[in-house]
Structure 1
Amino acid sequence: MPLVSGVDVINESTSRGLVAGAFNTTNLETTMGIVEAIERVGVPTFIQVAPTNVALSGFDYIYDMVSRRLASSPIPVALHLDHGKDIKVVEDALAARFTSVMIDTSEHPYEENKAISAHARTLCAPTIALEAELGSIGGKEDEIGPDHADTTDPGQVADFVDAVGCDMLAISVGNVHGYSPNARIDFELLSAVRDASRVPLVVHGGSGLPAEQLGRLIEFNVVKVNVASDLRNAMIRTFGEAFVANPNEVSLIRVSKDAVASIADVVERRIRMLNPSVA
């Protein structure tokens, strides 16, 4: 089916008691692997890209690639901008027909973050889902990390969500960007944030969290969990292993197909970790 609104993915996920994975793509192999896994499991999903990962392609190419692959798929999927750090990037993604966007000015002072995020809302049609971030998530993604990491203050949540009008709220509750195997969710803090928020929550840094924690997130009104590092590592590892096995390897298509299969396996495992009830 054609790409759907991020609002539709949120609504279907919450109505079915599911957590939507949000899987970062960069290229054709990653996209094909993500969609293959989605079709195996049959759950609504976000495919997303960060501005740092459109350096070769631009947003239009990502849209064309993802929408073309999904045209023959029965699964509802939204195309999401991950970590739009300024209004210009949000405008670029919307111009490329993305159906969901994130404005992330969480490193700014609270009032400035609130004002910029609210401005992003005015750029989005009602069918475009807006994710904003409160509290700065630590770690690095694409070798870029915040100057500081702050956990989300539950006392600011209601005011922020009401002022911004966001559809999802990205939070910092012990989750860490990148592959951080020692990251752990503070469920007491997550519970307080959930109780303060009238919109579903988003957890970034899904690659580093253990399965038993991922499987509990549905209890806390989490609707979206981001996974990027696992997918990228699967692709790089596949090509690296192929070279080690045969430094004279020249069958790019064979290795590319192996990478698609590896990425699909990673995505399927993460979806099932997030949704233990899915058969």
Structure 2
Amino acid sequence: MPLVNGFKLLEIIKERHVCAGAYNTTDLITTMGILDAVEQSKIPAFIQIAPTNIPLSGYGYIFDMVKRYADKMETPVTLHLDHGKNFQNVVDACRAGFGSVMTDNAQYEYDENVAHTRQAVEFAQGYGVPVEAELGAIAGKEDDYVNPDHKYTDPDQVVDFVERTGVNLLAVAVGNVHGLNLDPNIKFDLLKEIQSVCKVPLVLHGASGIPDEQINQMVNYGVVKINVASDLRKAYIQSMGKDYEKDNDRFDLVNVTLDARKAVKDVVYHKINVMNKLSPAQVY
């Protein structure tokens, strides 16, 4: 089916009581590997790209790539902007046809975060797409930006933040980290407290480093979207590296990239199963 609007995808997720992975792409090979796995699993998903990865392909090219594949799929998919760091990122994504966007203003103090988020929400409303925002700050390495410290989401701010911004999804900091080099420590008691007061669905970033046994609990804590990036990039690069090690005179780029596509697919398929507590027999 064609790409669906983020609001529609959230409805489907709620109806099916599943947790949607949000998988970061950069190029055609990563995109196809992700969507291969999503279509095989039949579990709805977000495919997303951060502005730091946009210079390689551009908003329009990413939209065209994802749409061309999604048009042949049965499983609903939304194209999402991940970690829009300024208002222009949101504008560019909406104008390119993205079905949902994230405005990440966690680097600002609370009131400034509210103001920037509200601006993004008001603009995105004109395009009919949902907006995700972050409250608190997630430690770790996000592309070229490194945040060494956790700033946990304050449950006492959640109600006010959601009401004042009009945001549709809330990314929380509960011990999750970006990247693969820090040890995540999910505070489920904090996550439960946030769930009890938050009127919008929750999002968990930094799932690459979180153990499977913790990931498969998230659907019971109001989490509808779980972001995975580092694991996919690692699989892609390692696949190409292994092919080179086997034969450093190789020049058959098609087969090397097909191996990388399958490596990405395998990681995504595993993550989908873990998020939704599925056994292989349950994936149809």
TM-score using structure 1 length: 0.97
* Superposition deviation, residue 181 in structure 1: 5.9
Q: What secondary structure, in the 3-state scheme, does the structure 2 residue paired with 1:250 have?
A: coil
Describe the superposition over 1:188-232 as per-residue Cα deviations: whole angstroms up to 9, x where unpaired: 110111111000100000100001100000111000000000110
Query: Aligned ranges for residues 32-51 of structure 1 at < 5 Å?
Result: 32-51=32-51
Whichever residue aligns with residue 8 of structure 1, its letter is K
* Superposition deviation, residue 148 in structure 1: 4.6
Query: Aligned ranges for residues 1-279 of structure 1 at < 5 Å?
Result: 1-125=1-125, 127-146=128-147, 148-180=149-181, 182-277=183-278, 279=282
Pick closer, same or farther for the CA change 1:211–1:181 going to 2, 3 Å.
farther
Q: What secondary structure, in the 3-state scheme, does the structure 2 residue paired with 1:124 have?
A: helix
Cα distance between partner residues in 1 of 2:121 and 2:147: 23
Describe the superposition over 1:31-55 as per-residue Cα deviations: whole angstroms up to 9, x where unpaired: 0000110011101100000000011
Cα distance between partner residues in 1 of 2:114 and 2:148: 19
Percent identical among aligned pairs is: 44
* Superposition deviation, residue 147 in structure 1: 6.7
Cα distance between partner residues in 2 of 1:148 and 1:87: 25
Cα distance between partner residues in 2 of 1:133 and 1:145: 16
Whichever residue aligns with residue 51 of structure 1, its letter is P
Q: Which runs of 5+ in 1 are unaligned?
A: none
Whichever residue aligns with residue 124 of structure 1, its letter is A
Alignment RMSD: 1.2
Describe the superposition over 1:210-256 as per-residue Cα deviations: whole angstroms up to 9, x where unpaired: 01100000111000000000110111001101111101010000011
User: Does the 8 Å CA contact 2:159/2:197 hold for their aligned counterparts?
Assistant: yes
Q: What secondary structure, in the 3-state scheme, does the structure 2 residue paired with 1:55 have?
A: helix
TM-score using structure 2 length: 0.96
* Superposition deviation, residue 76 in structure 1: 0.7
Moved over 3 A (4+): 146-149
Describe the superposition over 1:166-195 as per-residue Cα deviations: whole angstroms up to 9, x where unpaired: 111000000000114621210011011111
User: Does the 8 Å CA contact 1:50/1:83 hold for their aligned counterparts?
Assistant: yes
Cα distance between partner residues in 1 of 2:97 and 2:270: 29
Whichever residue aligns with residue 99 of structure 1, its letter is G
- Across the two proteins, how many residue pairs are aligned to each other? 279
Cα distance between partner residues in 2 of 1:239 and 1:138: 29
User: Does the 8 Å CA contact 2:140/2:148 hold for their aligned counterparts?
Assistant: no
